[in-house]
Structure 1
Amino acid sequence: MYGKTFQTIRKRKGMTLKEACGTALSVSQLSRFENDKSMIPVDLFFEVLKNINTSIEEFDYFLGRQDKKQLFERFDLIETYTNNRQFDKLVELKTTIQKERPGPYSWDQFLIYFIDSLTYLNENGRHQSQQAVLNYLMQVEDWGEMELRLYAIFGFTLNVETTYTLMHTALKRSKLYQAIPQDIKLLYTILSNNFSTFLYHGNLQYAEETIRLFEDRYSENTELFYPHIDFMFNKGILAFKKQHPEDGEKYCGQAINICRLFRQKESEERYQKRYKQWRESYEDPEYHELIINIGFLEEEDA
């Protein structure tokens, strides 16, 4: 990944391998690095970065965006496979990730844990991967970005009572970090994911409480556009689930109209698709919807 990122930046700068090498190393050495076939010493890495007029902060930014893009795409696949009950596809994705030999605390390893957890959702007891994540979360006194993201995605796989308890734990233990814009955004992601989780499992009481938490404690503290629209739409979904289609159409329609008014085309299309599905399926007791928001790419566009 480091080599490929360097290659992407070099090519965008319009520089050849020879120009990037300078006197630091040979063209063959840099070529092997760019193709992820070998690594280069740190001091030489800094030198070739300088040769392509790129700071370490810029490199880290591009590296992070590539990592997040791949992670987002994989979660999108997990969401699609789960909603369509394509569990064989989930297993194939897990195998693909395992072949990449992820590190023990990398996001790819947590993806493997997440897929394992989805596979065991209908089993009695808690799967060992869920327990490993839960143990980690409970031992951390102050939750930052990593802990909030872990809970945001694993909350769905835990039993409803545990997810409910952890929701309040997350709100308490993240107070130290709530001055950081990225982390306060994650709180809205958590609340939205929890709403989806509670609704998926048919616990309307917890779903209603989640909406109240946002409206009573957090809605006045955010100038962000998306959370307000999202919870307006969630109120509509809850109304459909409670067999009140008139209210469902009202709230969902308001959310979609706001998106249209402010030219949020992608959000409008996504809500339109979900709205149509709920309007057609709300009377079907077997209909379930899973929405996994990991808060990566959307945050950067907010």
Structure 2
Amino acid sequence: MDYGELLRQIRTSKGMKLKEAASDTLSTSQLSRFENGRSMIPVDSFLETLKNINTTPQEFLFLFGDDDHKEMQKIFENIESFMAEHQYDKVRELRDILRKQNPAPYSWKRFVFLFIESLLVLTDGEEPQNQPEVLTYLMQVADWGEMELRIYALFGFVFDVETTYLLMKTAVKKSQKYMALPQDAKLLFSILSNNFSTFVFHKRYDYAQATLAIFEEQLTERVELLEPHLDFLFNQGILAFCQGREADGIRDCERVVELCQLFRQHWREKRYNWRYQNWRHGYKDPEFRELAINIGVIE
């Protein structure tokens, strides 16, 4: 289905005639050709026509759907599932499938391919490798938008710590203007939580603490979101373990598990409890490290 066909479906479902939908924006013949896929119309005329049929752009895009976006969602769901179950062979298969598709530079598929490559390096016990291609892209974009924020959220663990910390200021500032959008309401907190884990992984507890301070400040303005509050409290517990405050770490982490039980967040309860047990029994081991990356930022 193309845009014109969907527009026609919406118009007819509302019992509106071509003349009513076109109004003063287009001629009826222009709109008819667009609806039948024989010509295009300017963006401003398209938006005006949506107003004429009492349809918002957000509603139109929801009804239209986005096949590419849905495909990316499915890929990330598979990555998350395979990594959680340590099915690294399947992750490699997914990487190889993407490689064969030869995705265009700076496309989402290309970034996903690079992301999988970085994850596989990490699972082999090596430090995540810097990805010049990703960093070059982020540095050359003067004004970050939604895509750049999501890329940064995913790749913060790949860059050197100083770069991740420096770019966080830009990410926080830019992501605030997207928080009114339902699909982006949690994006800032995903960035902060991923960065926190990255800084802890590298034992930069000063950066981790600074990240939590930003996290807490932003939460005061978004009290309606449950998941970021859980992440903040759990991360606070992790930092307590890192600083040798075991009793505080146990208290905060167990509180998160209890809240998950209270709100029937069974999947999150299982995930938090698994991480909590690892931290409680492993934090004194100098070799113990954890990197928890929320890869569900593509929603």
TM over 0.5: yes
Q: Which residue of 1 aligns with 2:69?
A: 64
Q: Which residue of 2 aligns with 1:274?
A: 275
Work out the CA distance in 1 between the residues paired with 2:170 and 2:64.
35
Q: 1:183/1:57 Cα in 2 relative to 1: closer, same or farther (>3 Å)?
A: closer
Q: 1:296/1:58 Cα in 2 relative to 1: closer, same or farther (>3 Å)?
A: farther
Work out the CA distance in 2 between the residues paired with 1:71 and 1:165.
27
Bigger shift: residues 187-196 or 61-70: 61-70
Q: Which runs of 4+ in 1 moved over 6 A?
A: none
Q: Which residue of 2 aligns with 1:254?
A: 255
Q: 1:144/1:76 Cα in 2 relative to 1: closer, same or farther (>3 Å)?
A: farther
The residue correspondences of 1:153-172 to structure 2 (distance < 5 A) are 153-172=154-173
Q: Which residue of 1 aligns with 2:109?
A: 108
Residue 286 (structure 2) pairs with residue 285 (structure 1): yes
- Any conservation in 1 of the 2:176–2:188 contact (CA below 8 Å)? no
Structure 1 length as normaliser, TM-score?
Answer: 0.69
- Any conservation in 1 of the 2:150–2:297 contact (CA below 8 Å)? no
Percent identity, aligned pairs only, is: 46
The residue correspondences of 1:196-275 to structure 2 (distance < 5 A) are 196-216=197-217, 218-222=218-222, 223-275=224-276
* Letter paired with 1:253: E
Q: 1:239/1:80 Cα in 2 relative to 1: closer, same or farther (>3 Å)?
A: farther
How many residue pairs are counted as aligned between the two chains? 239
Bigger shift: residues 72-81 or 180-189: 72-81
Unaligned runs of 5+ residues in structure 2 are 2-35, 39-59
* Letter paired with 2:209: E
- Any conservation in 1 of the 2:237–2:249 contact (CA below 8 Å)? yes
Work out the CA distance in 1 between the residues paired with 2:231 and 2:102.
37
Q: 1:151/1:79 Cα in 2 relative to 1: closer, same or farther (>3 Å)?
A: farther
- Any conservation in 2 of the 1:186–1:295 contact (CA below 8 Å)? no
Q: 1:101/1:80 Cα in 2 relative to 1: closer, same or farther (>3 Å)?
A: farther
Deviations 1:82-135 (A, max 9, x none): xx9x6x876554323212333333322112222444539648xx74xx222222
Q: 1:158/1:238 Cα in 2 relative to 1: closer, same or farther (>3 Å)?
A: same
Cα deviation, residue 158, structure 1: 0.3
Unaligned runs of 5+ residues in structure 1 are 3-41, 45-54
Match of 1:151, SS state, is helix
- Any conservation in 2 of the 1:141–1:173 contact (CA below 8 Å)? no
Q: 1:162/1:76 Cα in 2 relative to 1: closer, same or farther (>3 Å)?
A: farther
Cα deviation, residue 243, structure 1: 2.1
- Any conservation in 1 of the 2:179–2:185 contact (CA below 8 Å)? yes
Match of 1:191, SS state, is helix
- Any conservation in 2 of the 1:240–1:278 contact (CA below 8 Å)? yes
CA RMSD of aligned residues (A): 2.9
- Any conservation in 1 of the 2:106–2:137 contact (CA below 8 Å)? no
